[in-house]
Amino acid sequence: MENEQRRHVERTYFVGNLAWAVDEAALRAAFEEKGHRTSLVKISREADGERSRGFGFVRVLTDDAEAVITSMYGFEIEGRAIRVDYSTSSRTREEETTTTTDVPRSWGARSWTR
């Protein structure tokens, strides 16, 4: 018999439809309540840094990427059913900003959502 080993990979997920009151701790707690081990949770905020823009990103260590989406899509946090999907980028806005500060976005800096 061959010993099967599942490969755990860190994947980043887009999380939308967040209530403005949801912070990183609440979002992390929701994912961990469903048994998902998170390594990074970031909620996108307005330029002033105060108000949430209603979406964020969660990085999860998983061996079944689809199971994360299935278990979290529609999960209710602060009275709102969240939307979860694969992130089109594994980099958060803060990571992208720190690596492209020398190139203004209008000059062709890579979009953080690609």
Residue 26 lies in a domain: yes
Residue 97 lies in a domain: yes
Domain that holds residue 69: 9-103
Mean pLDDT, the chain, rounded, equals: 81
Question: Residue 97's domain is classified under what CATH number?
Answer: 3.30.70.330
- Mean pLDDT of the region 12-36: 97
Residue 73 has pLDDT above 90, yes or no: yes
Q: Are strands 37-45 and 52-62 parallel, antiparallel or unpaired?
A: antiparallel
Residue 2 lies in a domain: no
Give the count of domains, the chain: 1
pLDDT band at 23 (very low <50, low <70, confident <90, very high): very high
Residue 93 lies in a domain: yes
Q: Which residues are CB-neighbours of 80 under 8 A, at least 6 positions away? A: 17, 18, 19
- Token pair, residue 50, equals 């105060």
